[in-house]
Structure 1
Amino acid sequence: MNLGFIGTGNIATSVIKGLCTSNSTSHINISPRNKEKSLFLEGLFDKVTRMESNQSVLDHSEVIFIALPPAFAKDILKGLSFNEDHRVVSFVPFLDLEELLNSVGPASKVSRAVPFPTVENHECPILLYHPDETISGIFKNIGTPVPVASEPELKLLWTLTGLIAPFYDLTETLSHWAQSHNVEPSVANRYVMELFSALTCYPRKNIPFDFSELKKEATTPNGLNDQALKIIEQQQANTAYRVAAEALYKRFE
């Protein structure tokens, strides 16, 4: 199977890297839109061919991944000729399924997906809306597909991907705090990331789980976690995350 990518930004690059280092045997055709990244990917992987145009990607591929900036996506897509046999998967945040269908006709097998950069390491929950078995199978090579039942649900959960940078900001803050007390930067960085990574292992292996129960199990009265939790609640620090999530969600409406 030939896969085609229209757009070679950060997300598309991560997906392509993930596919090329997975069990997938598909060939990948990419657009020349980002010259530096497209040439880099073609040079890095034998499976990747940089095409001369976006239309050439369509003409030589069965599954088309749309990874364009939201502001330009519809205009670029309307300048291309899709066929009815194309399967189209959009990574574009604010392009609803109906708008996508109008932009890629006569193609009618369309879906939306939400990968993020960790997909290149095959460690990524991937939201999927309206996929078929072929599309789900492709994403199983590079992460954990999470099908959603509706577009509103997709938009709500997509919002949470906007909190990746704040998470890294938190880890950086904690690492810098440790470094300010004379811990070596490499040790502080590694421990902070390994700590948070380890905290996700238990619930991931014991689904279903309850966050409230996990919090209770980690909290001993008058212990370190109990003290930290009370201070953070008093500062209403977590409220900022809810406020940020609500603000991001409004962009999808």
Structure 2
Amino acid sequence: MQRIGIIGVGEIGRAVVEGLRHGGGASPEVFLSPRGARAAAELSERFEGVRVCAGNQDVVDRSEVVIIAVRRQDHREALAGLRVDDDTTVISLMAGVATDDLRRTLATGAPIVRAIPLPAVRERRSVTVTCPSHPVVDSLFDQLGGALPVADEGAFDVFSALTGTLTAHYAYLATLTSWAAGHGIAPGTAERYVRGLFGNVGRSLGDERSLHRLAADHETPGGNNERIRTTWFDPANAAALAKALDGLLDDLR
């Protein structure tokens, strides 16, 4: 793979470019759409072989693989009239846009693969769900932390819904920080501690223990962790989270 195009240079598009350039070495040429002009210009100045194109069709014409990373509500307008040859590989990063829908918009017989890269691809530390498995696409994301192919879009949408919980996690940490500040801890000190606390917990996810086992191993019976888990994250709280995820999944489908 020598030439990759990206239409829609937002946070994820930027992360993909940075991941491809992470650590140096041989990297494909990258062609960026002018959509997200500031980010595209900054990336082209930072990295050799990254260029901003005149328009979306120019991106497609120059690329073997085209990554589409525009917002789903904008995709028909952004992609209207594009000509995509059947020997191009299309990667869609648009949550809630089914493959058949995108194929109708592009009017192409090219292979279309959906993917869910996360910002950590910039450090090549994020597993990316893909659907369906495709050798070119899976190889690309293997370089960026790993590919996790799934066979059907129903399963893919479940993973997409899970991805929608990320900012809730950050908000949870911010709430803990605010609670500590409300009890007299300096906000900067509280945030430093919360970041360290959960950064270290996150590293434990790299071992082979199940999530239930990890929870049990971090608790003492009758201790502080068990108390918060059972009094705050109770069955009603868990059911509310499941209901929110079910609603998101319905929208994605």
Please, what TM-score do these two structures have when normalized by structure 1?
Answer: 0.90
Q: Which structure 2 residue ranges, 5 or more long, are not aligned?
A: none
Q: Is the 8 A contact 1:124 1:144 kept in 2?
A: yes
Deviation at 1:234, TM superposition (A): 4.8
Deviation at 1:190, TM superposition (A): 3.0
Between 177-186 and 139-148, report the one with greater CA deviation: 177-186
Distance 1:10 1:123, change over 3 A: same
Distance 1:47 1:187, change over 3 A: farther
Q: Find the counterpart in structure 2 of residue 220 from structure 1.
A: 220
Distance 1:233 1:91, change over 3 A: closer
Q: Find the counterpart in structure 2 of residue 180 from structure 1.
A: 182
Hey, what's the Cα distance between the residues in 1 that align with 2:234 and 2:115? 38
Q: CA offsets, 1:196-246, max 9 Å, x none?
A: 23223334221xx43222222222222111222222145833333222212
Between 124-133 and 69-78, report the one with greater CA deviation: 69-78
**SS where residue 164 of structure 2 aligns?**
helix
Hey, what's the Cα distance between the residues in 1 that align with 2:119 and 2:70? 15
Q: Find the counterpart in structure 2 of residue 103 from structure 1.
A: 105
Distance 1:142 1:234, change over 3 A: closer
Matched to 1:17, the amino acid is: E
Hey, what's the Cα distance between the residues in 1 that align with 2:159 and 2:76? 23
Q: Find the counterpart in structure 1 of residue 17 from structure 2.
A: 16
Identity of aligned pairs, percent? 26
Hey, what's the Cα distance between the residues in 2 that align with 1:203 and 1:10? 25
Hey, what's the Cα distance between the residues in 2 that align with 1:34 and 1:46? 19
Distance 1:112 1:230, change over 3 A: same
Hey, what's the Cα distance between the residues in 2 that align with 1:236 and 1:12? 38
Hey, what's the Cα distance between the residues in 1 that align with 2:195 and 2:239? 23
Hey, what's the Cα distance between the residues in 1 that align with 2:18 and 2:228? 40
Task: Say whether 1:7 aligns with 2:8.
Answer: yes
**Aligned pair count?**
251
Q: Find the counterpart in structure 1 of residue 124 from structure 2.
A: 122
Task: Say whether 1:242 aligns with 2:249.
Answer: no
Hey, what's the Cα distance between the residues in 2 that align with 1:131 and 1:180? 49
Q: Find the counterpart in structure 2 of residue 26 from structure 1.
A: 28
Q: CA offsets, 1:13-67, max 9 Å, x none?
A: 2222222225551110000112222212212222310001111111111100011
Please, what TM-score do these two structures have when normalized by structure 2?
Answer: 0.90
Hey, what's the Cα distance between the residues in 2 that align with 1:124 and 1:249? 22
Distance 1:68 1:214, change over 3 A: same
Please give the root-mean-square deviation of Cα atoms over the aligned residues, in Å: 2.0
Hey, what's the Cα distance between the residues in 1 that align with 2:196 and 2:42? 31
